[in-house]
A = this chain, B = another copy of it.
Amino acid sequence: MSTRKDFIRQSAILGASSLLLPGNTFSIEQSAMQNSLKESRWADGSRLVISISMQFEAGGEPETGFDSPFPANMEKGFTDIPAKTWFQYGYKQGIPRLLDLWDKHRIKVTSHMIGEAVKHSPELAREIVKRGHEAAAHGLNWTPQYNLSYEQEKKFISDGVAIIKEVTGETPKGYNCNWLRRSKNTLAILQELGFTYHIDDLSRDEPFLIPVNGKNLGVVPYTLRCNDIQLLEGRYFSSQQFGEQLRLEFDQLYAEGAKYRRQMSISTHDRISGTPAQVRVLDEFLAYAAKQPGVKFMRKDEIARLALQDKTTVIDQDYR
């Protein structure tokens, strides 16, 4: 909420007579509306593209102050040891179990890797890549970057990339910030460093392009709606509810796929969706989705490539 004082100042400035002068805002939204109503298709003929993210974060969590499923009532100066074992589950059971699930359904996912987590469990990072999944970048460690200076942020991103490259041999093409929170410099830095897309956007159900430093950068939208950390840890959904949510989202997006280019995004975190109950509902969902004609599971780098090559992809000229 803006404060009352702000509000009054605003309404004083914006007299009714001056409100509707033509301007940039209007033209932006006109194109937004047109985009929403215009029919569109995937260049490869897919009816619905599903993209799964597998967050590889455990082992990269900070020593203190991390999110944890335990009550926040410990005295300062002590380590919350059982919470540490909760994170360990992510790389000891979670990712191995998820890898088996993706193999079972023959799908390839995008793994957003925190540099420190890769450094901590290099063999696991290599296994992910070996099985055909995408190694995308997710920062050097488990901290925000929206509050860094340009140089600090560039180093933060590059250092994470360097670890992924050295351990897995892959060069990340996509980027995901901690809790999606980028700074005003992030997009320019990503363009400089050779990334082809970022995912920290919830505004559309399809990929789009944004001009950054005179060249288009892909946006492959992420999700809070089918996101295990948001639903299970943030909103206390049960796994049953998570599965129902996937099904409802899918059914609607699949129906819309007849007229519009539609992407379904699903997020799975190592320690949260690598559990038996989550893998069970994901297994059921994947079997259900795969049965519908025209459904395609894609890595996010493939989606970005398709979007960048397709002349009909929406370009958001005024993205900030």
Contact = CB atoms under 8 A, between A and B. Distances in A.
Interface of A: 1-4, 6-8, 10-11, 14-16, 19-20, 25-26, 29-30, 32-37, 59, 62-66, 69-71, 73-75, 78, 80-82, 85-86, 88-89, 91-93, 96-97, 115, 119-124, 127, 140-144, 146-148, 152, 155-156, 158-159, 162-163, 166-167, 179-183, 200-205, 224-225, 230, 234-241, 244-245, 248-253, 256, 275-277, 279-281, 283
A142 B85 contact: no
Given A19-B166, A88-B203, A252-B277, 19 more contacts: A1-B73, A2-B142, A4-B148, A10-B141, A16-B159, A19-B159, A19-B163, A26-B123, A29-B59, A29-B91, A29-B124, A32-B92, A32-B121, A33-B123, A71-B179, A81-B200, A86-B203, A86-B224, A249-B276
A43 to B, nearest CB: 21
Copies of this chain present in the complex amount to 4
Contacts of A256: 97, 276
A258 to B, nearest CB: 12
A257 to B, nearest CB: 11
A238 B143 CA distance: 29
Contacts of A148: 4
A35 B97 CA distance: 12
15 contacts: A2-B62, A3-B65, A19-B163, A20-B167, A32-B92, A32-B121, A33-B124, A70-B179, A71-B179, A85-B202, A88-B202, A97-B256, A240-B245, A248-B276, A251-B276
